Chains A and B, each alone.
Chain A
């Protein structure tokens, strides 16, 4: 069978490899066009302020200045990236209108013949700002009397009528009442910048027939195209986005930040427009991984079993939501960890503050949950006097278990992964731990645990049916069964 596979199990040269090692790969900013204008942004120097006035008179006299764009030039100035999948309300300003909510928020786009002229004109724009109190902590932002960041009067994103994404499973208070020990801790993380080597940027080029080609390094080409169409109020067929070559992203390039305003500028001037972040913009302005605060309260038995887990999480969305509500939903689905816990309560808040908007970064929503949960598991082990491996084996979920958000576990590999990890680091497992598998607790069939040689029994309802359909984690099985 394996001789029919032409890729699996073999090293294959990447299709873009020769381009990368010869430098012939064209990244977005490697394109250049005759008559290309340079766009630079006037940004808020403060974290939170009312905009009382913008004076362009001096900037307009800089040699090479072409024109400025303000919010009045943007057809649909208030948008939400995830509006494409139904997330509401629209809340981010392409260009700030009457208020700035984070340091670095764009206010005026300057177009000039050269980059130097654009930078000089930016420095000549006079802003009249009335600074407002700012908030940088998720719990302070939710406290009464906190400065309100959003334009609708609350610093909590609303999930289907609730100011948090919630999960309720079993009776967590009854679990705490029966527990031998209560283990409680709070975990904090800072925002993290993805810091790709290639700064975020694009070049928008007017074409014949009212169309625009946009060379961009976005990680989300169609998301960017669709949001640009909404913001500019043009049909998508007028936009041609060219991408796929990203000089590092790590989630930092999934937001729609440079394309709408660069395309608008190309429309207004009928010239190619280049809008590429400087390194300082990349660090200060582009979305980060959210800062998190995660409070965990666990009810634990002396044998290491967790009988109740209550998680209250706060993700700092910064001034706008971007992809953070989505992160909170993923977070809520994973906040109990890969463990079978009968009683779980999760409140996960997406909080607006005056920090740089946060968004996607590698596993966002889950990464910080895993950090908090695994440190918590070690703390539990310490409290009940067991070794950390044992606490994890005792609580590990199995196929057929129901997760707190009512998803049946189908593809558990925690036990097998821990067994493999123990071998790699030379940790002695007990015979009982060595004999464990992710197979369902009642001995029936479950999802593919990937355990070699494990019999796949039939006739145990939905989970067993799925096992037959997907095979046990091996392409070979699926192919053989066809």
Chain B
């Protein structure tokens, strides 16, 4: 199968790649473009560690053929990290130790970012519901849920 040129927006900048059809967005990000914040945990859509935002919606990049993101807006963790400091979600994960080994963290933070964009003050059950597709093997999830709650609280009280 001949390779195709795919153009899309990556973290606010234009991107253009040459890839064989059915190459995953995950593979393009990590292996062609060097955006390695997006992790590989299972490559079968089962763990959420490769979650990125496509037009603002969280998606497992390991299941997304690159040709399907043509013309769309892709955001990775690199794209939400400010030049100086951290995003409110990142700061809350850091302050609340919403991570241990750090491997699921990028996916969790992308999910949290999308959630708070959609719903700036989610209830705890809504946070738990939103995290349903992302697995963490270290924390037992409570510190992650706490961090997202704290990020929402910080945003609503204008702390950051």
Q: Are A248 and B36 in contact (CB under 8 A)?
A: no
* Chain A residue contacts of B136, Cβ below 8 A: 197
| Contact residues, B13-46 vs A (CB, 8 A) | 30-31, 34, 36-44, 46
CB distance from A279 to the nearest CB of B (A): 4
CB distance from A251 to the nearest CB of B (A): 12
Binds B, one of A14-22, A180-188, A312-320, A339-347: A14-22
CB distance from B82 to the nearest CB of A (A): 10
Residue of B nearest to A16 (CB): B102
Q: Is A229 an interface residue (CB 8 A)?
A: no
Q: Are B99 and A26 in contact (CB under 8 A)?
A: no
Binds A, one of B2-10, B104-112, B116-124: B104-112
Q: Are A197 and B46 in contact (CB under 8 A)?
A: no
> Within the assembled complex, what's the spacing in Å between the Cα atoms of A163 and B76?
55
Q: Is A30 an interface residue (CB 8 A)?
A: yes
* Chain B residue contacts of A199, Cβ below 8 A: 40-41
Q: Given that A32-B34, A278-B43 are known contacts, is A21 also in contact with B101, CB under 8 Å in the complex?
A: no
Q: Given that A17-B94, A197-B135 are known contacts, is A247 also in contact with B36, CB under 8 Å in the complex?
A: no
Q: Are A24 and B37 in contact (CB under 8 A)?
A: yes
Q: Are A279 and B137 in contact (CB under 8 A)?
A: no
* Chain B residue contacts of A26, Cβ below 8 A: 36
The number of chain B residues with a CB under 8 A from chain A is 39
CB distance from A220 to the nearest CB of B (A): 16
A-side binding surface: helix, strand, loop or mixed?
loop
With beta carbons under 8 angstroms apart, the residue of B36, B42, B43, B98 that contacts A23 is: B36
> Within the assembled complex, what's the spacing in Å between the Cα atoms of A20 and B101?
8
Q: Is A267 an interface residue (CB 8 A)?
A: no
With beta carbons under 8 angstroms apart, the residue of A13, A197, A246, A279 that contacts B104 is: A197
CB distance from A418 to the nearest CB of B (A): 24
> Within the assembled complex, what's the spacing in Å between the Cα atoms of A452 and B89?
42
With beta carbons under 8 angstroms apart, the residue of A23, A25, A29, A195 that contacts B40 is: A29
Q: Are B44 and A279 in contact (CB under 8 A)?
A: yes
Q: Given that A14-B97, A30-B36, A279-B46 are known contacts, is A19 also in contact with B41, CB under 8 Å in the complex?
A: no
Q: Is B90 an interface residue (CB 8 A)?
A: yes
Q: Is A196 an interface residue (CB 8 A)?
A: yes
| Contact residues, A4-61 vs B (CB, 8 A) | 13-14, 16-27, 29-30, 32
* Chain B residue contacts of A21, Cβ below 8 A: 86, 90-91, 93-94, 98-99, 102, 105, 109
* Chain A residue contacts of B109, Cβ below 8 A: 21
* Chain A residue contacts of B38, Cβ below 8 A: 23
With beta carbons under 8 angstroms apart, the residue of B31, B90, B98, B102 that contacts A32 is: B31
* Chain B residue contacts of A245, Cβ below 8 A: 102
* Residue contacts A-B, CB under 8 angstroms, 30 given: A16-B102, A19-B102, A21-B86, A21-B91, A21-B94, A21-B98, A21-B99, A21-B102, A21-B105, A21-B109, A22-B90, A23-B36, A23-B37, A23-B76, A23-B105, A23-B106, A27-B36, A27-B103, A29-B40, A30-B30, A32-B34, A194-B137, A197-B135, A198-B39, A199-B40, A248-B101, A249-B101, A278-B43, A279-B43, A279-B46
- Interface of A toward B, CB cutoff 8 Å: 13-14, 16-27, 29-30, 32, 194-199, 245-250, 278-279
- Interface of B toward A, CB cutoff 8 Å: 30-31, 34, 36-44, 46-47, 49, 76-78, 81, 86, 90-91, 93-94, 97-106, 109, 135-138
User: 7 tightest CB-CB pairs across the interface, nearest first?
Assistant: A23-B37, A20-B102, A247-B103, A30-B36, A23-B77, A279-B42, A197-B103
